[in-house]
């Protein structure tokens, strides 16, 4: 999808240098993906301590590696 954006050139250049991404399109796509990822992680963190998984950690820790 083609879209015309008015972005601060300095901000875009800094993002490209920081991420070592060569194209403006790729750096914008990467930024959007990262924003979505962080948002999802934030939503998942709301469940911390609220989900009972009924896991016996002692049995898990004493397991031996199958490989």
Query: Quick check: is 67 in a domain?
Result: no
CA distances for 28 relative to 6, 8, 14, angstroms: 13, 12, 12
Q: What is the mean pLDDT of residues 55-62?
A: 78
The boundaries of the domain holding residue 26 are 9-61
For residue 66, what pLDDT band results from cuts at 50, 70 and 90? low
Query: Quick check: is 37 in a domain?
Result: yes
* Largest pairwise CA distance in the chain: 57
Query: Quick check: is 1 in a domain?
Result: no
Query: Quick check: is 57 in a domain?
Result: yes
Who has greater pLDDT, 38 or 63? 38
For residue 47, what pLDDT band results from cuts at 50, 70 and 90? confident
pTM score above 0.75 = no
């Amino acid at each position: 999808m083609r879209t015309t954006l008015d972005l601060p050139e300095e901000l875009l250049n800094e993002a490209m240098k920081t991420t070592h991404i060569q194209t403006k399109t790729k750096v914008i796509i990467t930024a959007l993906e990262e924003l979505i990822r962080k948002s999802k992680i934030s939503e998942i963190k709301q469940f911390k301590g609220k989900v009972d998984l009924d896991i016996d950690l002692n049995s898990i820790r004493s397991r031996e590696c199958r490989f």
